[in-house]
Amino acid sequence: MLGCLTQLPRPDRCDGTYEQYCDPSREYDNVTAIISAAGKTDLLSYMNTYWKDYQGDDEDFWEHEWDKHGTCISTLEPGCYSDYTPQEE
């Protein structure tokens, strides 16, 4: 499997699955507030339109997806930033 990971430019396990719940310190329960504070209203509008929870609780769905998958991928190296603040990923 290691050969597969080094040959393909993607972060999956070569079977379509991805790492899960990788960094508990980056699990957030305020996705809407984080996106709004970053001034990304266009992204939030898009999510409100197209990334819907089938039970109607979009915020809970987004939090779940971030916690499960988003915590496993980041190009951010917090140690490289003297003024890094959590939730600015």
How large a percentage of the chain has pLDDT more than 70? 65
Q: Exposure pattern of 36-70 as b/e (b: 16+ CB <10 Å)?
A: eeeeeeeebeebeeeeeeeeeeeeebbbeebbeeb
Name which of 3-17, 27-41, 46-60, 69-83 the model is least confident about: 3-17
- Residue 60, pLDDT above cutoff 50: yes
- Residue 73, pLDDT above cutoff 90: no
Mean pLDDT of 9-38: 79
